[in-house]
């Protein structure tokens, strides 16, 4: 459990190669921001955290705020995205 609380330390965007501001962009720049998440070892943990905490802005786990809102609308029954994504595997993310 303690390791789960620190998933951000292992994130591709948290390794000093990307400015945090680069993930809080709008429009077409979001495509570039999402590319940072490709291959990230904690992508699902990041996305689950953003969904569980209803993060309104930025790219998290490879999804924009618009994509996350749409996913939350499609799956209102999900109470824990961590259980849905991280523990069950990438069942939902690949479907968008």
> Rounded to 5 degrees, what are φ and ψ at 47?
-65, -45
Q: How far apart are CA 31 and CA 15, in angstroms?
A: 20
CA–CA distance, 12 with 1 (Å, rounded to integer): 21
Q: What is the pLDDT of residue 46?
A: 93
Asked whether the beta carbons of 12 and 18 are under 8 A apart, the reply is yes
For the chain, the domains span 2-95
Q: How confident is the model at residue 88 (pLDDT cuts 50, 70, 90)?
A: low
Q: What is the pLDDT of residue 52?
A: 94
- pLDDT for 2: 46
């Amino acid at each position: 459990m303690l390791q789960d609380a620190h998933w951000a330390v292992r994130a591709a965007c948290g390794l000093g190669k990307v400015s945090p501001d680069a993930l809080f962009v709008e429009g077409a720049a979001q495509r570039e921001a999402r590319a940072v998440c490709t291959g990230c070892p904690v992508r699902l943990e990041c996305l689950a955290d953003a969904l569980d905490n209803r993060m309104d802005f930025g790219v998290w786990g490879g999804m924009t705020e618009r994509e996350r809102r749409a996913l939350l609308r499609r799956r209102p029954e999900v109470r824990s995205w961590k259980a849905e994504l991280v523990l069950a595997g990438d069942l939902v993310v690949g479907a968008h």
